[in-house]
Amino acid sequence: MSTLYFVESKGGRVKCPYSMNETKMTLTERNQKLCELRSKMNKLRNEMAWIETEIMSVKSQYDRENIDLFEEMFGEKNTLWDHLDRMSDTPIAEEVYGG
């Protein structure tokens, strides 16, 4: 059986803590360890499902509000074309857009 390695953030290799090369394990110990790991995995899956639900709730709430992005960004209700028309009257617009 091969040894599993994890890569540390500093670049070194570390043996997997569950590697079975070091010591012999009884069937009961194996089954207990697998049960513990599955229990942890199920707990984390439930936590992940809860977080995904919260993400969907936040997205849904924002979508229901129908906020105008331009108004949210610039604090005024306008269209992009109105904004560009106003820019054409400024000296900066003549330099950037050719007048």
The residue with tokens 């540390």 is: 8
Phi and psi torsions of 31, nearest 5°: -65, -40
Helices (H), 66-98: 69-74, 80-87, 91-97
Task: Provide the greatest CA pair distance for the chain.
Answer: 83
Tell me the whole-structure pTM to 2 decimals. Answer: 0.47
User: pLDDT digit string (tens) for 67-87?
Assistant: 887 788 877 776 666 666 666
Question: What pLDDT score was predicted for residue 91?
Answer: 63
* CB-based contact 68:82 (threshold 8 Å): no
> Domain segments of the chain: what residues?
26-65, 67-99
Does residue 88 surpass a pLDDT of 80? no
